């Protein structure tokens, strides 16, 4: 206000207490660990590989925990898809744990490819299948069966022979030679039918023809009375890790129908590859 004096009181700054960073308590990290998660990981680490099958008592002994507590953990891990219980009561690791990111990639591929697979099966009324390479094993990833009473069946999860199934050959043929050797060694060259090719030299020559033609044929090599035509799925910037196929009883295959199926399977493989290229 004019003509009056305003007295301003200044606050005195409070005394600052110097805190040295070296005086702060340094946590060890253990106090932040979750005991429940730790116990679940202890259980998973009891399994050495995909061949390990362990019962409740064996896991309890290895993990060092009572069976009553362990049972709840096993049920939880099984429900969430990290463990699988076999008919005999033993547990094993699921592909979700074994293959990690590889499994996630396979799941994305399955989601992308399923409509194409369904369309292929519907068009020819034959069984269409999708396979994926998990390290050195080729598994059926998805399958859409024909409506015919007599049909070829291909169950998801099945391990495919790399030397006598069209899906196995279509994938194996496009791998580097060291991986080809490993895949063949893991599965083994043995006869599934009288027409299975078990000579290594002849098989490698067949792989070369597959690379040139762009498709593989299994004519009663894996299953008597069955014909299967498979084509590799070849994205632009990725190695071949998957293939698609159409399977039919040999009685329904004529030369003209076989040519048509080859065109259809190769077109479906290209369509799936384009879908993969479009996904970042």
Go through 104-116 and write b for each residue having 16 or more CB atoms within 10 A of its CB, e for each that does not. ebbeebbebbbeb
Q: Of 76, 98, 120, at which residue does a domain stop? A: 98
Assess whether 76 and 172 both reside in one domain: no
Residue 205 has pLDDT above 70, yes or no: yes
**What is d(CA 152, CA 86) in angstroms, rounded to the nearest whole number?**
26
Please give the pLDDT value at position 33.
79
Bigger pLDDT: 140 vs 49: 140
Q: Of 98, 127, 147, at which residue does a domain stop? A: 98
Question: The domain containing residue 40 runs over which residues?
Answer: 33-98
Please give the pLDDT value at position 18.
46
Q: Is residue 115 one of the residues assigned to a domain?
A: yes
Assess whether 111 and 94 both reside in one domain: no
Assess whether 271 and 205 both reside in one domain: yes
Assess whether 110 and 68 both reside in one domain: no
Please give the pLDDT value at position 50.
58
Please give the pLDDT value at position 145.
86
Output phi, psi for 168, to 5 deg.
-60, -45
**Among 4-13, 28-37, 234-243, the least confident range:** 4-13
Residue 107 has pLDDT above 70, yes or no: yes
Number of domains in the chain: 2
Assess whether 88 and 175 both reside in one domain: no
- Joined together, the tokens standing for residue 29 give 């990290």
Please report which confidence band the pLDDT of residue 93 belongs to, taking 50, 70 and 90 as the band edges. Answer: confident
**Among 12-21, 63-72, 73-82, the least confident range:** 12-21
Q: Of 72, 98, 124, at which residue does a domain stop? A: 98
Please give the pLDDT value at position 155.
82
Please report which confidence band the pLDDT of residue 28 belongs to, taking 50, 70 and 90 as the band edges. Answer: low
Assess whether 113 and 80 both reside in one domain: no
Please give the pLDDT value at position 241.
94
Please report which confidence band the pLDDT of residue 2 belongs to, taking 50, 70 and 90 as the band edges. Answer: very low
**What is d(CA 217, CA 204) in angstroms, rounded to the nearest whole number?**
14
Which whole number is the average pLDDT over 204-209? Answer: 96
Residue 138 has pLDDT above 50, yes or no: yes
CATH of the domain at 106: 3.30.450.40
What are the pLDDT digits (tens) for 263-276? Answer: 999 999 999 999 99
Please give the pLDDT value at position 265.
97
């Amino acid at each position: 206000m004019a003509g009056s004096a305003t007295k301003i009181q200044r606050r005195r700054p409070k005394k600052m207490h110097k805190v040295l960073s070296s005086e702060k308590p340094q946590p060890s990290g253990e106090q932040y660990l979750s005991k429940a998660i730790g116990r679940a990981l202890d259980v998973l680490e009891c399994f050495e590989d995909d061949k390990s099958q362990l019962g409740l008592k064996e896991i309890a002994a290895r993990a060092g925990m009572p069976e009553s507590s362990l049972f709840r953990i096993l049920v939880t891990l099984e429900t969430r898809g990290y463990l699988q219980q076999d008919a005999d009561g033993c547990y094993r690791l699921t592909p979700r744990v074994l293959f990690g990111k590889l499994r996630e990639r396979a799941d994305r591929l399955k989601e992308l490819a399923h409509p194409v697979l369904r369309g292929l099966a519907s068009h020819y009324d034959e069984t269409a299948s999708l396979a994926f390479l998990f390290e050195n094993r080729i598994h059926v990833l998805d399958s859409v069966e024909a409506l015919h009473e007599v049909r070829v069946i291909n169950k998801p999860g099945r391990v495919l022979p790399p030397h006598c199934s069209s899906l196995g050959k279509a994938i194996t043929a496009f791998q580097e030679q060291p991986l080809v050797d490993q895949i063949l060694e893991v599965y083994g060259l043995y006869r599934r039918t009288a027409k299975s090719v078990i000579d290594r030299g002849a098989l490698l020559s067949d792989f070369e023809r597959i690379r040139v033609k762009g498709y593989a044929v299994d004519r009663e090599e894996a299953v008597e009375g069955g014909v299967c035509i498979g084509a590799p799925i070849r994205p632009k910037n990725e190695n071949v890790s998957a293939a698609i196929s159409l399977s039919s009883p040999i009685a329904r295959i004529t030369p003209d129908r076989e040519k048509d199926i080859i065109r259809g399977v190769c077109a479906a493989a290209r369509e799936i590859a384009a879908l993969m290229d479009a996904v970042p």
